[in-house]
A and B are shown apart, each in its own frame.
Chain A
Amino acid sequence: MNLRRSLTVASMHARDLGRRRLALAIVILLPMVFYFFYELQPVDPVTEQLLAENPTEAAAADMWVVATGAIGLGWAIAVAALFVMIGSRRADQSLLLAGYRPAELLVGRVLTVLGLTAVVTPMFAVVIRSQRDLDFLLLAAAIGLSGVVAATIGVLAAAIVPREMEGVLLIIGVIGIQMTADPQRWMPLWGAGELLARSAGLPGAASAGAAILYSLVYAAVLLAVGIAVWSRRVNLRPPARVLPVERPLDVSPARRPT
């Protein structure tokens, strides 16, 4: 694998993505919409009374509001990864014939989506930190990690399904289960959730190291499976025999029409 070629792939898809203004706006706004939807929801007096009597429950409920924003960001990043992958599918044959290896193309596209995550994460973390007393570094790490894991979910979805629609449905399913699963352990965004809990100082949260390691290992496994499935799908069939090229093509100007 040639990292330089992957960087070329990343830079080309960054240009492509950067020109999709509406899609970028949605990626940036979606986590905010998730977050502010729960943030601005009125709480009924009975619940308010119960939460006032139980500070731990209140902190957990408060953290759920932040978590929905992080999940919203994860959803947006996963769908962006899906569209970057599937949107390039028609170009894949030409690129592979030009000499790219499947893993080089896929890693380059993942780098593009991670770049997008790196842009959106601090913006979102600053908005949340301005409203809540949380550890900023842990908060940003939690949001960033949810983006990293989500990017690999999008890549795997793109490798498995043939079209965008099926991919979006698959991601909705995964994120939906993530939001409702109890316990959250073994879910893709568990590590990010634990970091969020730690950023708010909630008792019983996993250590930052364990949460980060969990997320990175989860992302690495999803990416490896994605590369394996996708490579199998797009790989070229080499000829049974390679014929020698005794002389190159004569492309001198004299051989070209005026």
Chain B
Amino acid sequence: MDGPVALSVRGVDKSYKRRQVLTNVSFDVCRGEALAIVGENGAGKTTLLRICAGVLGADRGEIARVPVVAYCPQESGLIEHLTAAEHVRYVGAGLGLDPERAAARGAGLLRWLRFPDGETATVRELSTGTRQKLNLTLGLMSESPLILLDEPYQGFDRGTYENFWEHVETWQQQGAAVVVVTHMLAELYRVNRVLELRTGGGWTLDGVAEVAA
């Protein structure tokens, strides 16, 4: 890829107590590129993404990235008794957007993700898939050129799931570097590169072993 680097991971180690999860993981993701992180349960996919986003510290190694990230965690960070519009305003204020601009940006993203039009229910009344659309919207509101997604399609129906992968392509065309944690191996043809994590700390990039576990 020719775009500038949006995320650079160098020599990252992480262990929980005595269990080594990540060993010397290194890779770059450029703008306009999509990288999938795959691996079995407990291989450290979510841990690695959290380290990239800055919500978790690594034991060793270095992360270099653009200042703001669009991060969509696997577990939705929503407040039960707020509506989608209120969430958009809440996150927008953090981004320095006035309520009108936040509403406009949020509405555009919600429409794009096929969030039900005019939905005024609070989060606790929404279906899992609809909640996840809102979760994804909030993550994307920063319009960051680095998008980190941790299995963001949980609960999506088939049509929305198909759309999600089209969105990944669109984000790339917009100039974003996209990192997706996924179990959907059938969709890997849609990304440029694949980082596979193995239980115990080993990993391969595009099928090439970079480090022994």
A residues at B contact (CB < 8 Å)? 4-5, 8-9, 12-13, 15-17, 19-20, 87-88, 90-100, 236-251, 255-257
Contact = CB atoms under 8 A, between A and B. Distances in A.
Contact of A12 (B90, B163, B170): B90
A93 B122 CA distance: 20
Contact of A257 (B7, B78, B167): B167
Given A90-B78, A242-B66, A257-B170, A249 B175 contact: yes
Nearest to B96: A99
A180 to B, nearest CB: 36
A245 B57 contact: no
B174 interface: yes
A100 B138 CA distance: 14
A248 B123 CA distance: 31
Nearest to A238: B54
A256 B67 CA distance: 24
B12 to A, nearest CB: 11
Given A97-B71, A243-B5, A92 B77 contact: yes
A13 B76 CA distance: 17
Q: Which bucket holds chain B's interface residue count?
A: 35 or more
Contact of A90 (B65, B68, B76, B122): B76
B81 A90 contact: no
B35 interface: no
Contacts of A249: 143-145, 174-176
A241 B94 contact: no
Contacts of A238: 54
Given A15-B81, A91-B78, A237-B57, A243 B139 contact: no
B61 to A, nearest CB: 9
Given A8-B90, A248-B145, A249-B143, A240 B81 contact: no
